Structure 1
Amino acid sequence: MAKCGMGRKVKFIVHRTCLIFSLLFTTVGCDQLTKQLVRDSLPLIGSLSYLNDSIRFQYARNPGGFLSLGAGFSEGVRFWVFNVAVSVFLAGLAWTLFHNRRTRAFTLVGLSLILGGGIGNLIDRFIFGSVTDFLIFGIGPIKTGIFNFADTAIVLGAALIFLANWKPKGILGAQCR
């Protein structure tokens, strides 16, 4: 009987780990691929606009954080805030993902997307000193800030965590066991 229970536990850990790594590799891979395509092509042609400028691809280097917050900080402060502090946060998030086995399924997916997006942007910061942004959405004069695939993963991950933990528990509140 104990052997059967142990087999289920190992199977659970393997499936959970595969899910986390699949999400991480997909998120980081798509993020880095799209950023490389932008770096290789958009600087040459400026910006591309579709559907009456509802979707715009425009190359930008962001030395700051979300919506360029902190872009005006000195280079040293940006390094400590956006490279070192973010690295520590992401390491803690990774530890939590792999060690907290009672995390709900959608929370697990959300945390994995946040970690993948954070890693994608961190790669840019360590290699280029800034993050490559390229997407703008809008309707008429109302536009989003410029962002990238990693930012989208982070926001989607945060939304999943919110929905999974929002009371009253709905279908997103199921436990991942």
Structure 2
Amino acid sequence: MKLKGFFRNLMIVFILVLNFSCDQITKTIVRKTVAEYEIIPLIDGYLTLTKVENTGAFLSAGSSLPYFIRFLVLTLLPIVFLSYGLYLIIRKKELPQILIIAWCFVIGGGIGNLYDRIVHGSVTDFLHLDLGLFQTGIFNMADVSIMTGMFIIIWRQFLIGINQNSKGD
């Protein structure tokens, strides 16, 4: 199903704002109520709240780079890619609704982290998941949005591949 015109663009803006707002509201609460590196168990030690200010990217990658390179790689390039992604989902009218939603999650999350980097000089991360053998780094709701969107995109491509292979059999 494809959405047309105004309502399609309204949906794009709504999902972007929803992702960005969820991210920024949770980060604001954490910044105001949790001390840096304080550990607060949320779900029996499986999910904890731990505030960390991350000047790098995923798992602090790039945090030790010189400022100019870090600014170029972690601020300017994301502005270009997020702007181009937004341009594409608005202009490509043939995109299926599920891909529009997925890309809005990715772009909305990216905007949330980019906003932090520009306004606060670092990204506030605060969630940690520990399932024994599987453990995450510390992340935030923007990261959840990005991962959710990417999961949907990859899953859809996987299903399309299965469907195309089954037609060839």
TM-score if structure 2 supplies the norm length? Answer: 0.89
Say which one has the larger Rg. Answer: 1
Q: Separation in 2 of the partners of 1:27 and 1:159?
A: 16
Given that residues 104 and 164 in structure 1 are in contact (C-alpha distance below 8 angstroms), is that contact kept between their aligned partners in structure 2?
Answer: no
Deviation at 1:165, TM superposition (A): 2.1
Deviation at 1:67, TM superposition (A): 1.5
Correspondence 1:91 to 2:83: yes
Runs of 5+ in structure 2 lacking a partner? 165-169
TM-score if structure 1 supplies the norm length? Answer: 0.85
Aligned identity (percent) is 31
Residues 98-109 of structure 1 correspond to what in structure 2 (within 5 A)? 98-109=90-101
SS of match in other structure, 1:139:
coil
Deviation at 1:71, TM superposition (A): 1.3
Map Cα deviations across residues 76-119 of structure 1 (whole Å, 9 max, x no partner). Answer: 21111111011000010010010001112211111100110010
Map Cα deviations across residues 109-145 of structure 1 (whole Å, 9 max, x no partner). Answer: 1110011001000100101111000000112364210
Correspondence 1:82 to 2:74: yes
Runs of 5+ in structure 1 lacking a partner? 1-8, 171-177
Q: Separation in 2 of the partners of 1:27 and 1:51?
A: 23
Deviation at 1:168, TM superposition (A): 2.5
Aligned to 2:145: 153
Q: Separation in 1 of the partners of 2:118 and 2:36?
A: 24
Residues 1-177 of structure 1 correspond to what in structure 2 (within 5 A)? 12-43=4-35, 46-140=38-132, 142-166=134-158, 167-169=161-163
Moved over 4 A (4+): none
Do the aligned partners of residues 129 and 45 (structure 1) sit closer, same or farther apart at CA in structure 2, a change above 3 Å counting?
closer
Q: Which amino acid in 2 is paired with 1:48?
A: I
Do the aligned partners of residues 92 and 164 (structure 1) sit closer, same or farther apart at CA in structure 2, a change above 3 Å counting?
same
How many residue pairs match? The answer is 161
CA RMSD between the two structures: 1.9
Q: Which amino acid in 1 is paired with 2:130?
A: G
Q: Separation in 2 of the partners of 1:72 and 1:24?
A: 31
Q: Separation in 2 of the partners of 1:130 and 1:61?
A: 6
Deviation at 1:44, TM superposition (A): 7.4
SS of match in other structure, 1:143:
coil
Q: Separation in 1 of the partners of 2:147 and 2:121?
A: 22
